[in-house]
Amino acid sequence: MIDGMLKRQGYYEKALEHYKKAHALINDDLYWLVNLGAMLVLLKNSGDAEKYYAMVVELCEDKIKNGVADYWTYLYKGKALVALGENLFYLDGYKDALISQSPVEDVRSASDQLEIFCNLEFQINSSNTALNQVLYPYLSNTLN
Query: If residue 4 lies in a helix (H) or strand (E), which one and from where to where?
Result: helix 2-8
- Residue pair 98/108 in contact (Cβ under 8 Å)? The answer is no
pLDDT-derived band at 70, boundaries 50, 70, 90: very high
**CA–centroid distance for 34 within its chain:** 6
Q: What is the CATH number of the domain that holds 136?
A: 1.25.40
Residues 58-62, mean pLDDT to the nearest whole number: 96
Structural domain range at position 84: 2-143
Q: Which residues contact 13 (CB under 8 A, 6 or more apart)?
A: 43
pLDDT value of position 4? 67
How many angstroms separate the CA atoms of 35 and 16, rounded?
8
* 38-48 residue pLDDT tens: 999 999 998 99
- Residue pair 111/131 in contact (Cβ under 8 Å)? The answer is yes
Q: What angle do CA 42, 82, 18 make, to 5 degrees?
A: 35
Prediction pTM value:
0.90
Domains in the chain, number: 1
pLDDT-derived band at 111, boundaries 50, 70, 90: very high
